[in-house]
Structure 1
């Protein structure tokens, strides 16, 4: 398993800067959703798949491997859980989640089809 590693060229950047590696990892399908769901509570593989409706087992397995290798999550007593580093990442994303709620409230409603 190979996650985007700081120091190596990553998707969209040859610089190897840590922020570019993180954005590549978080930009992969389902990565953010998996982290967000585990922020709510630890989960087994099946529980996590159920929370992420539409996520295939193979993609979930790949993402879990990448996120474990990146040390953002770990195996715990109740299944998968955020590691201390993963929890810190999600905590740092919470202001963005609050901003998104305010932004959504300012948008006009979508026209009905």
Structure 2
């Protein structure tokens, strides 16, 4: 994908798959946004903001723009009155389900072990 090269290439200019994934999902809110869209399906901005506890309007908007630019999220303008915008995962975004699920499971085990 174009536009991601700055952080995802090694010294020889070759893309690194792990670095690419970490660059996308390493951002604080990206995995949470993807997880909520996986769980709930398409959501409007305000519904998504309610589900992603603690995120500001600005950060949510910037995160959605970034995920859309990376072809993971699709923004659809609905012809309702008033006009609404809905966000959903693209095929590439849906393919992150396994990664996000494994991250969640690992986090649960890690936190449980630390609480012992």
What TM bracket, shorter-length normalisation?
Answer: 0.7 to 0.9
RMSD, aligned CA: 2.6
**1:98 Cα shift?**
3.3
Distance in 2, matches of 1:14 and 1:92, equals 21
Aligned to 1:88: 95
TM-score, normalisation: structure 1: 0.73
TM-score, normalisation: structure 2: 0.71
Distance in 2, matches of 1:102 and 1:54, equals 23
Aligned to 1:37: 36
Write the deviation string for residues 27-52 of structure 1: whole angstroms up to 9, x where unpaired: 11211111111111121111111111
**1:14 Cα shift?**
4.9
Write the deviation string for residues 34-85 of structure 1: whole angstroms up to 9, x where unpaired: 1111111121111111111221111111110110111111125671111111
The structure whose residues are more often strand, as a share, is 2
Q: Which moved more, 1:78-87 or 1:88-97?
A: 88-97
4+ aligned runs moved over 6 Å, structure 1: none
Number of aligned positions between the proteins: 103
Unaligned runs of 5+ in 2: 79-84
